[in-house]
């Protein structure tokens, strides 16, 4: 097979019907452009939506859940030990939420090579006092610097400096929804009542906005020391340990391991946010489906153009076969034509797709509910471009394969007799 000659004939046939060739290439270019633009935007949107929760959520959370005792007194009674005992309205055990030996557990976690960082937290339910009204709320006692380093806390502080939480005694960063309800601003002093009835005055040094209203209308943050004093506890009082891993996909497996080792409850990020992963998967599936559909439509356009080309070039095909070209040679000529359209159209499609993504990435997107987002989200993952080019080549190859088979089976004698 003379590859140079076959390539020369393919180029001649392409240029002989350059208008149809251009239309086919434009179809592929448009499909790849929309495929790349759509996938880049949808992937960026998924990253943004997941980031609202996942960036602020520990990969593994260690805590103590108050549960009823697994073994009731009747279970250890000799009289009823051989019976099935059914007990209703079992009350939880009377125990503290404090994690015992939290410092020792954190040291062990920090020495684990799979762990990026460990942050303690104290969580408590409170009432924000507004005149005669009490508003339900939750205060998390955190190490502001470490919380920002591991979980981008500072990105969600929309007013004030997050480090003031550490530097200013008896200070609080209020959720923006809470602040709007209480009509307070930076520098104001609010009164908070704990579940034990203790009251404390706190200075507002910042406003926090996650973008999820259900969180912003109850959530606030204090320093660890302030929260511990609020509860009347010592500096060793910790209710949660947040763990960030190097590989988040290992979180479910490592969480079970930590449960067995430390005898605590462990919640991994996949279990806690399963609904977000499901939503991301569905959005990605829809995006790929639309993009692949565009490529298949472009493939049918190439298929029709090559079919018409074969019909109009029957004489040329007959002459080629009469002068010694085999069916495989003719097959290679038309597959090369289709592949050329796919490669050229795919390369231009990737370039235009990148340009479209850049344009979308610079379109302003300002909303009060998402303060950290300034433009529409775009994901420039090279995998999207590789998939787009691969699909364009595969689709156009098969679009040319079937017409090429038809051309390779043409009997030159029948064509010449017909003429």
pLDDT tens across 8-63, in order? 877 777 777 677 778 778 878 888 888 888 888 888 887 777 666 667 788 889 98
pLDDT tier at 173, thresholds 50, 70, 90: very high
| DSSP 8-class letter at 75 | G
pLDDT for residue 355: 93
- Give, for 347, the enclosing helix (H) or strand (E): helix 327-361
- pLDDT at residue 53 in the model: 67
Q: Give 138's strand partners.
A: 125, 219
Residue 419 has pLDDT above 60, yes or no: no
Greater confidence (326 vs 163) lies with 163
Predicted pLDDT at 172: 92
| pTM recorded for the entire structure | 0.64
Answer yes or no: is pLDDT of 82 > 80.
no
* Furthest CA-CA distance within the chain: 107
| 369 DSSP assignment | T
Among 151-155, 265-269, 352-356, the least confident range: 151-155
Burial (0-12, 13-18, 19+ Cβ within 10 Å), 29 = buried
Name the average pLDDT for the chain.
80
User: Residue 306: which pLDDT band, with cuts at 50, 70 and 90?
Assistant: low
Chain Cα centroid distance, residue 399: 34
Mean pLDDT of 100-124: 89
Q: What is the pLDDT of residue 221?
A: 92
C-alpha distance from residue 302 to each of 21, 53, 222, 355, 410 (Å): 8, 45, 64, 25, 20
In DSSP terms, which residues pair with 208 in a beta bridge? Answer: 157, 175
Structure tokens belonging to residue 194:
């704990």
Q: What percent of the chain has pLDDT over 70?
A: 83
Cβ atoms of residues 162 and 206 within 8 Å: yes
| More confident position, 264 or 410 | 264
Alpha-carbon span 105 to 103, nearest angstrom: 5
pLDDT band, residue 151 (cuts 50/70/90): confident
- Measured distance CA(206)–CA(203) in Å, rounded: 9
Residue identified by tokens 């080019």 is: 389
Residue 61 main-chain phi, psi, to 5 deg: -115, 120
- pLDDT value at 384 more than 70: yes
Give, for 60, the enclosing helix (H) or strand (E).
Answer: strand 60-63
More confident residue, 328 or 317: 328
Over residues 113-137, the mean pLDDT reads 86
Strand runs (DSSP E) across 150-262, as ranges?
A: 157-160, 171-175, 189-194, 199-208, 219-223, 240-245
Q: Residue 393: pLDDT above 90?
A: no
Confidence label for 325 from pLDDT (cuts 50, 70 and 90): confident
Alpha helices in 243-326 (DSSP H): 251-262, 269-272, 274-312, 314-322
């Amino acid at each position: 097979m003379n590859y140079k000659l076959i390539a020369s004939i393919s180029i001649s046939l392409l240029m002989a019907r350059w208008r149809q060739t251009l239309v086919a290439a434009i179809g592929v270019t448009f499909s790849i452009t929309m495929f790349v633009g759509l996938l880049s935007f949808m992937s960026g949107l998924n990253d943004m939506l997941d980031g609202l929760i996942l960036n602020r959520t520990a990969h593994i959370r260690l805590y103590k859940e108050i549960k009823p005792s697994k073994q009731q007194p009747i279970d250890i009674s000799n009289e009823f030990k051989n019976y099935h005992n059914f007990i209703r309205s079992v009350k939880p055990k009377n125990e503290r939420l404090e994690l015992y030996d939290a410092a020792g557990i954190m040291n062990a976690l920090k020495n684990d090579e799979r762990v990026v960082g460990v942050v303690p937290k104290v969580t408590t339910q409170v009432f924000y006092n507004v005149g005669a009204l009490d508003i339900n709320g939750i205060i998390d006692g955190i190490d502001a610097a470490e919380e920002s380093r591991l979980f981008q806390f500072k990105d969600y502080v929309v007013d004030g400096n997050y480090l003031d939480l550490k530097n200013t005694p008896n200070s609080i960063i209020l959720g923006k929804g809470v602040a709007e309800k209480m009509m307070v601003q930076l520098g104001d002093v609010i009164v908070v009542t704990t579940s034990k009835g203790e009251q404390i005055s706190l200075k507002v040094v910042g406003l926090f906005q996650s973008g999820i209203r259900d969180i912003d209308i109850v959530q606030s943050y204090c320093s660890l020391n302030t929260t511990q004093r609020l509860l009347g506890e010592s500096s060793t009082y910790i209710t949660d340990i947040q763990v960030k891993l190097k590989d988040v996909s290992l979180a479910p497996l490592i969480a079970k391991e930590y449960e067995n080792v430390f005898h605590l409850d462990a919640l991994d990020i996949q279990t806690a946010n399963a609904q977000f992963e499901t939503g991301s998967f569905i959005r990605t599936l829809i995006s790929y489906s639309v993009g692949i559909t565009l490529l298949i439509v472009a493939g049918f356009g190439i298929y029709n153009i090559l079919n018409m080309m074969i019909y109009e070039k029957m004489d040329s095909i007959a002459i080629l076969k009469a002068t010694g070209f085999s069916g495989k040679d003719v097959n290679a000529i038309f597959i090369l034509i289709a592949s050329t359209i796919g490669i050229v159209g795919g390369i231009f499609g990737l370039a235009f797709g990148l340009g479209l993504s850049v344009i979308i990435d610079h379109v302003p997107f300002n909303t009060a509910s998402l303060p950290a987002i300034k433009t529409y989200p775009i994901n420039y993952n090279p995998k999207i471009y590789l998939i787009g080019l691969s699909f364009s080549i595969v689709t156009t190859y098969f679009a040319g394969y079937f017409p090429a088979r038809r051309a390779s089976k043409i009997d030159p004698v029948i064509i010449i007799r017909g003429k």
